Amino acid sequence: PFFVDRVFTVNDVSHGGCKYGIMNFHGCRKGSLSVEMCDNLYFTNRKVNSVCWASLTHTDSHVLLCLEGISQTPGCVSLLPASLFSNFNPDQPGMLCSFKISTAWSCAWCLNPQADKTFSTGLSRQVIVTDAVTGSRATYLAGSDVLAQQFALRAPVLFNGCRSGEIFSIDLRQRDRGRSHDWKTSRFFQESAITSVQLLQDENYLLAADMLGKIKLWDIRVKRSVKQYEGHHNEYAYLPIHVNEPEGLLLAVGQDCYTRLWSLHDRRLLRTIPSPHPAGKDSIPNVVFSSQLGGSRGLPGLLMAVHHDLYYYSYNKDYQEGLTLEGQC
């Protein structure tokens, strides 16, 4: 679905560590948006390297978290039930799992039925693919740290972006995963460390962003860049890119704290939105864009989180300005 009705949040707390929560959004055709915050007293002193939704018992039933190690405690990967963050059924927490996987940079959950209940983690020079139910693992050696991952939907194929600039794919149906690169079903390069990979609905095409601020669209079949989107600013940060194909948009927040929107099809820079807060390396906004923000009755809009503030921008592609700040949530 192209609607967004909840977002998992990670907030710093004043005495150190992090607090997790889920924000629920309710939109209507008139353009209003209401927000409900569901907290849980689940704290950790560990940095969260990567997070994604996981469909273990049903769609988006859990949250997959990659946690850094601290002191004598090694890093791990946790599956947290989303019901931990519900104001309605706090007595039904569901199944909480933890996996001994040290310091993962990235993670992804597979929705293809041929690799049901499987997730991946990108580590230093290797990829681990894990069955969340049985705990069985397959390890694939890589030549560099794996910083970004995404599974295809139509086949059990995992795309990986590396610190070296390499982008490669793994077909989970293949058995050979030796030291040669023969098991990589696709392999191509950008000039700098890959921070984000996003497959389009036509899974012959993949968007990739790197630490030189380059965002390229690749045709996987011919391993060639077919489009480049200019204006993104990045030098060293792990910054994601966001795609909304129904609206034909590509979004990214730069290290300069500006949010940029491009036309996915003709590469035009459509809008540049400054942060409501002073720019700084510790105040880069996080954004979510949806065609139906707040559920199936919602309208297109952008959420921007900076520090402890949340801003809502309505979107109308018929207007030149495109996005209008509606208020602070």
Contacts of residue 107, defined as CB under 8 A and 6 or more positions apart, other chains included, come to 50, 51, 52, 64, 65, 66, 77, 119, 120, 121, 122, 149
Lowest mean pLDDT among 110-114, 145-149, 306-310: 306-310
Look over the chain and give the mean of its residue pLDDT values, rounded to a whole number: 89
Residue 192, pLDDT score? 98
Q: Is the pLDDT of residue 321 over 60?
A: no
Q: Name the pLDDT band for 83 (thresholds 50, 70, 90).
A: confident
CA distance 232 to 6: 27
Write out the DSSP string of 258-311. Answer: -EEEEETTT--EEEEE--SS---TT---EEEEEEEETSTT-EEEEEEEETTEEE
Residue 288, pLDDT score? 94
Q: What is the DSSP letter of 57?
A: S
| Residues paired with 225 in a beta bridge | 218
**In terms of Cα–Cα distance, which of 281, 223, 225 is closest to 253?**
281
Q: Is the pLDDT of residue 1 over 60?
A: no
Residue 212, pLDDT score? 97
Greatest mean pLDDT among 68-77, 95-104, 304-313: 304-313
pLDDT digits (tens, 9 = 90+) for 19-53: 888 999 888 767 678 888 887 766 676 789 999 99
Lowest mean pLDDT among 57-71, 103-117, 214-228, 242-256: 57-71
Residue 88, pLDDT score? 55
Write out the DSSP string of 27-49. Answer: E-TTS-EEEEEEEEEEEESS-EE
Mean pLDDT of 274-301: 89
pLDDT digits (tens, 9 = 90+) for 176-211: 555 555 668 899 999 999 999 999 999 999 999 999
Residue 127, pLDDT score? 96
Mean pLDDT of 60-81: 89
Q: Name the pLDDT band for 96 (thresholds 50, 70, 90).
A: confident
Q: Is 315 exposed, middle or buried (CB count within 10 Å of its CB: 0-12, 13-18, 19+)? A: buried
**Hey, how many other C-beta atoms are within 10 angstroms of the C-beta on 219?**
15
Phi, psi of 61 (to 5 degrees): -75, -25
pLDDT digits (tens, 9 = 90+) for 237-276: 999 999 999 999 999 999 999 999 999 999 999 999 999 9
Lowest mean pLDDT among 131-135, 163-167, 293-297: 293-297
Mean pLDDT of 122-139: 95
Q: Is the pLDDT of residue 289 over 60?
A: yes
Q: Is 25 helix (H, G, I), strand (E, B) or coil?
A: strand
> Who has greater pLDDT, 85 or 234?
234
Q: Name the percent of the chain lying above pLDDT 90.
A: 63
Q: What residue type is 14 in one-letter code?
A: S
